[in-house]
């Protein structure tokens, strides 16, 4: 079955790696509702599954780093939706081998087995973190790429990136897919590596790879109370315990919060796209309507009738100030646009089930 046919018929057999995870489980649901046959592979990584979970229907317990498990999961498959990964910013540099193992090695094993099996369609879960800092404008010097923020500035409460030419504050703008890749955390480095492996695989085999650069994903079944949990789940856990959400820096960090249901729809759109054989095509998967971290904490606290957020002034090494991206390419080429608005999404998330 060629890539064009994949987008035109139902009943296509798709392997979803990480199928029992937060995002993967929603993708499985959307693909099955669209009439596709879905199988899954998941190693039930503790960072995503604190307690052992029964394998979801059609999910094989296995690790993408295990060539034999991958080979078995790929039997009779037409396309792969690769979600399996170790996620989050990381706790310390001691996490580096785990990120490299799960994300880099796991992707390499998967691609090698796909090449051997003659499977030529991949949709890869990438992330906006590959950009490092997003796009910026200097009033005096125009578009600029800021240097990494200095610890001395952060400790002094100077959070906005500076222009490398005049050293004035920069204003955030929307980053496009052709922006340079400049990862600034362990997780970001591993996601960039996944894209590079997928691009090399596509060139070598004439296959089609699509990288979906997710922005800040939230929604039902998000993992809670782990060092790698998303900020929305961390804030909600605090509110459930009668505590104010602890907001780093001054809360002015701009992000694009996108509901997991929209992420699943984007994966379906990518699988239905013919793509470009022999190359990897990246897409920003975002709403195009950014909000600050403080906006998100405030909206969630209001929805839960909880304490107002507390701005701590603290910061984490590797964090970036603003990352907001243009979703125009995904809209124009994939026909994808996010549907769930921020306020309604946060209201729903306040009572949605989370994963222990």
- Nearest CA to 231 among 255, 196, 206, 199? 255
Write the pLDDT tens digit of every residue in 14-30: 999 999 999 999 999 99
Write the pLDDT tens digit of every residue in 224-246: 866 556 889 999 999 999 999 99
Mean pLDDT of the chain: 91
pLDDT at 138: 95
- Nearest CA to 211 among 223, 197, 225, 221? 197
Burial 13-33 (b: 16+ CB within 10 A, else e): ebbbbbbbbbbbbbbbebbee
* Separation CA 230–CA 251 (nearest Å): 16
Write the pLDDT tens digit of every residue in 45-83: 766 555 544 445 678 889 999 999 999 999 999 999 999
In contact, 224 and 256? CB cutoff 8 Å: no
pLDDT at 46: 66
Decide: helix, strand or coil at residue 162.
strand
Which ranges in 158-304 belong to alpha helices (H)?
186-205, 231-240, 260-272, 293-303
The set of residues, in sequence order, having a beta carbon less than 8 Å from that of 86 and lying 6+ positions away, is 45, 47, 95, 98, 99, 102, 103, 187, 190, 228
In contact, 73 and 15? CB cutoff 8 Å: yes
């Amino acid at each position: 079955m060629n890539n064009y046919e994949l987008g035109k018929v139902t009943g296509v057999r798709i392997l979803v790696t990480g199928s029992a995870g937060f995002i993967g489980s929603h993708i499985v649901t959307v693909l099955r509702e669209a009439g596709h046959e879905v199988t899954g592979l998941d190693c039930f990584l503790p960072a995503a599954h604190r307690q052992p979970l029964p394998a979801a229907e059609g999910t094989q317990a296995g690790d993408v780093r295990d060539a034999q498990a991958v080979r078995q999961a790929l039997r009779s498959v037409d396309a792969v939706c690769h979600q399996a990964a170790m996620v989050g910013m990381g706790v310390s540099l001691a996490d580096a081998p785990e990120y490299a193992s799960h994300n880099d090695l796991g992707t390499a094993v998967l691609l090698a087995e796909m090449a051997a099996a003659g499977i030529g369609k991949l949709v890869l879960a990438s992330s906006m973190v590959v950009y490092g800092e997003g796009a910026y404008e200097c009033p005096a010097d125009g578009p600029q790429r800021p240097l990494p923020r200095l610890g001395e500035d952060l400790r002094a409460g100077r959070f906005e990136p500076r222009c490398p030419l005049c050293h004035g504050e920069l204003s955030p703008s929307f980053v496009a897919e052709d922006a340079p890749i400049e990862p600034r955390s362990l997780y970001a480095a591993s996601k960039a590596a996944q894209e590079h492996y997928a691009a090399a695989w596509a060139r070598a085999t004439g296959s089609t790879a699509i990288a979906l650069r997710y922005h800040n994903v939230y929604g039902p079944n998000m993992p809670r109370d782990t060092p790698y949990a998303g900020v929305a789940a961390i804030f909600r856990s605090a509110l459930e315990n009668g505590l104010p959400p602890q907001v780093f820096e001054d809360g002015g960090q701009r992000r694009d919060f996108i509901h997991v249901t929209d992420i699943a729809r984007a994966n379906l759109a990518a699988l239905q796209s013919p793509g470009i054989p022999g190359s990897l095509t990246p897409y920003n998967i975002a709403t195009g309507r950014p909000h600050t971290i403080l906006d998100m904490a405030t909206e969630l606290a209001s929805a839960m009738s909880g304490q107002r957020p507390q701005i701590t002034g603290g910061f984490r090494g590797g964090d970036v100030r603003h990352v907001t991206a243009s979703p125009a390419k995904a809209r124009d080429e994939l026909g994808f646009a996010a549907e769930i608005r921020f306020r309604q999404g946060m209201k729903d998330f306040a009572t949605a089930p989370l994963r222990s």
